[in-house]
Copies of this chain bind each other. A is one copy, B any other.
Amino acid sequence: MPRIKILLFFILCIIKVYPQINDSIFSDRPDGRFISTYGYLITELENTKPALSYDSTMSKLQFYRWQDDVKAAMENIMKFPMNNNNLPDPVCISTEQKDGYVLEKWEFYPFPKCVSTFLVLKPDNVIDKAPAVLCIPGSGRTKEGLAGEPGIYDCYTEEISSDHVTMALDYAKAGYIAVAVDNAGAGEASDIEHYSNSGNYNYDVISRLLLEMGWSWLGYTSYLDMQVLKWMKSTDYIDKNHIILSGFSLGTEPMMVLGVMDKDIYAFVYNDFLCNTQERAVVMTKPNKYGNRPFPNSIRHLIPDYWRFFNFPDVVASLAPRPIIFTEGALDRDFELVKNAYEKVNAINNVKCYHYPKFSKKEDRLQIEKLPKGLDSKTYFRMVNVDPPSHYFKSELVIPWIDSLLK
C-alpha cells in the first residue's frame, strides 16, 4: 500500500512540476548556453561540488585531516572578530529559587557597546561539577520560552506549559544544568517587535546590516553563543568535559558552528531535519502565486561562501565520533552519509537517528538520491520525509538519550 502511495505521489509531482521545469531551467539552445541569468546560476549552483564534501572513501587518517580542514574553513567563513579581547566577565544579575532548581539571569558583554543575556537553570541536586546543556532556540523562540518563563513582553510569551517548547526546563527537570541563550535579534535582543504585539522577530534587517558589513547572522549569533560557551567552561560547577549543545530548528545552525570550532563539546542534540540547503535551493524552483521563483528561506540563513565548502550533512559528519542525536529525520541518504563517518571512526553507536513519527517506518519514507527540480515547499518537505506540524523539541527522545550517555 505505501509503495502505491509513493508511486502516485511521484506521478502527481511530475504532472504538477513538469511545466515549470521547462520554464528556462533547461537551455533550449543547441550550444546548451543559458540566456536567463537564473537558469545559468541555478545550473552553476547545481554543479558546484563543495570543496570539503564528505567523501566516504577517505581513510581514517584522511578523515581526521579533513576534520581540521572543515574547522579551518568554518573559522574563515564565520569571521569571528580577531581583536575583540579583554571582554568583561559575565555578571549574574538575578537569582530565583524555583521548584527544584535555581534560575539565574546573566549579562555578558560581547562587544564594547553591546550587552546580551542568558539564563542558567541549576537543579537543586547539583553539588559538584556537573554536565550542562547549552540550549539554542528556534527562530520564533526565546531563552525565556526554553526556560519555561514568560516572555520579556507579553506578546513574546510562548507555550510554556508544553515540554515541546521548554527545552532548558526539560533538561533541568532531568537533573542537568541548562543554559539558555537568545538568537541575535530575538526576544530580549529584539528591537520594536513588541509594539506591534508580535513575536515575529525581524531577523532580516539585522542580517542585512551584518551582510553589508561583511559578516552574517550566523557568524554573529555563533560568536555570541561562543562567549556563553566560554563562560560555561570557566565556571566551577560545570563539568567542561561534558558540555552538550542542543539546537532547535534555526538553533541547529549555530550549534553546528560551535561544534566544529570547539572540539571540547561533548555531544549534540540536533532537533530539526537534517537538510542539504544547497540542494533545496536548486530544486525549489516552482514559481509562487506571483509568478516568481522564490528562494527557500530568508537572508538570516545567507552565509556567503558556505556552499563552496560544505553542506549541513558534511558539517555534521565532521563532528564524529562525538555523540549526536537527530530527532526529526532527513533523507536516509543524508543519515547514511553521517553514519558512514561515525563508522569510519568506530563510533557508530554514537549517532542516533530518529525520523518524524509519520515516517518512522522505512517503507513510508522516500528513498531519493537526487531530488528533481520544480518543487514547492510542501512537496519538498514531503520528499525529504518532513512533517512540519510535528516540528517541536522532542524531549521524549532526547532526555533518555542523554541519560544513556551520562548516567
Contact = CB atoms under 8 A, between A and B. Distances in A.
Count the copies: 2
A262 interface: no
A216 to B, nearest CB: 9
Interface residues of A, number: 66
Contacts of A126: none
A38 B113 contact: no
B40 A205 contact: no
A343 B41 CA distance: 44
A150 interface: no
Interface in A190-243: 190-193, 195-196, 198, 202, 204-206, 208-214, 220
Given A44-B213, A213-B307, A24 B192 contact: yes
A35 interface: yes
Most buried by B among A41, A115, A307: A41
A53 to B, nearest CB: 15
A25 B113 CA distance: 12
Interface string A261-284: 000000000000000000001000
A42 B191 CA distance: 11
Interface of A: 23-24, 27, 29, 31-45, 48, 109, 111, 113-117, 184-185, 188-193, 195-196, 198, 202, 204-206, 208-214, 220, 281, 287, 290-295, 299, 302-308
CB-CB nearest 3 A-B residue pairs: A196-B291, A38-B191, A33-B115
28 contacts: A27-B113, A31-B115, A33-B109, A33-B115, A35-B117, A35-B189, A37-B191, A38-B185, A38-B205, A38-B209, A44-B111, A44-B213, A45-B209, A192-B287, A193-B291, A195-B287, A196-B287, A196-B292, A205-B293, A208-B299, A209-B281, A211-B302, A212-B281, A212-B302, A212-B306, A212-B307, A213-B305, A214-B305
